[in-house]
Structure 1
Amino acid sequence: MHPLAAQWIVGLLRDRHIPFQICGGLAAKGYGAERALNDIDLFVPDEHFMTVVQAGQAYISKPAAHHCEEGWDLTYVQFKYEGIKVEVGNAEGAHILDAASQEWVPLNIDFARYETVNLLGLALPLMLKEDLIRYKSMLSRPVDIDDVRAMRECSK
């Protein structure tokens, strides 16, 4: 089902020429992590966020709002497509909690910095491996630690 959800959100974004960057478990998978995906996570620039929300309105499972949870402080919308959660974050003002220092750190998403990787039958712009490892290391949740270990072990 993940390929269908990925095709849906990527089609929605590309039809509207909206830049995006895949992060989270799907990006980690692109760099060698093999765990099962929980959802599809990505960011879009602030000026396109509401366009995405409106375009995917029929599939909203968690309305666009500011959330501060599980080490994340950001505005996002959650869609559910074919049973798969697709979380689209607004890159503007996104922060993560550094587990070691207990300080909120800006997650500066640079849409010019990405690597295109073929995943789920699509060429996807992934957050750069070094950036992904840095933020997942800061969050340090068990799933992030597993992803970082797998990405470091993989020679991709």
Structure 2
Amino acid sequence: MKNTEKALKWIVGILESKNVIFQVSGGFAANLYGSKRELADIDIDIENNSFDKILDEVRLFIIFGPNQYIDENWNLKLLTLSYEGQEIDICGETKIFNKIYGCWVELKTDFSNSNYLPIYGITIPVIQKAAIVEYKNKLQREVDLEDIKALS
């Protein structure tokens, strides 16, 4: 059984202790803004040069990466962890496939424009709601459309 609270507090503690600038995004962020969709993973964006800062702390929990991950929707530097049964995706520079225009576009993380939200007794930097809707509208997957509907 996954323990999302424990996993979030664990990874946030590591990121903060290593002075890594980060921002929570994806489905977890959508849930914080009101989406009721079941959580698959915790997505956290960091700068590409920050992966090395956390590797020693997370090494035992790595299930992928850090490496380039490419599928039909995503092209990004990715480190996937499993902690307390909860998957955590640490994401670097990212491109997404814009289904509306049929091309790859860069997904820039604006770390300076985070919304700080409380969850599980801690406060975390979260992507702005409008930015979630914008990139999920480009991806157009079923889960994205579900999140957009819940956030609109």
Band the TM-score falls in, shorter-chain normalisation? over 0.9
Query: What stretches of structure 2 of length at least 5 have no aligned partner?
Result: none
CA shift for structure 1 position 49: 1.7
CA distance in 1, matches of 2:79, 2:129: 24
The equivalent residue for 2:70 is 68
Q: Which runs of 4+ in 1 moved over 4 A?
A: none
Query: What stretches of structure 1 of length at least 5 have no aligned partner?
Result: none
Identity in percent: 30
The equivalent residue for 1:125 is 125
Contact map agreement 1:2 1:120 (CA 8 A) in 2: no
Show the 5 A alignment for 1:2-151: 2-90=4-92, 92=93, 94-151=94-151
* Farther-moved stretch of structure 1 (46-55 vs 7-16): 46-55
| TM-score (ref. length: structure 1) | 0.92
Could you give the per-residue CA deviations for residues 46-82 of structure 1, whole angstroms, max 9, x where no partner exists?
Answer: 2212222332111001121101124111011100001
Counterpart amino acid of residue 100 in structure 1:
I
CA shift for structure 1 position 110: 1.4
- Number of equivalent positions: 150
| TM-score (ref. length: structure 2) | 0.94
Contact map agreement 2:41 2:86 (CA 8 A) in 1: yes
Q: Partner of 1:105: helix, strand, or coil? A: strand
Contact map agreement 1:23 1:132 (CA 8 A) in 2: yes
Contact map agreement 1:53 1:77 (CA 8 A) in 2: no
Q: Partner of 1:17: helix, strand, or coil? A: coil
How large is the Cα RMSD of the aligned pairs? 1.1
Contact map agreement 2:44 2:90 (CA 8 A) in 1: yes
Q: Partner of 1:56: helix, strand, or coil? A: helix
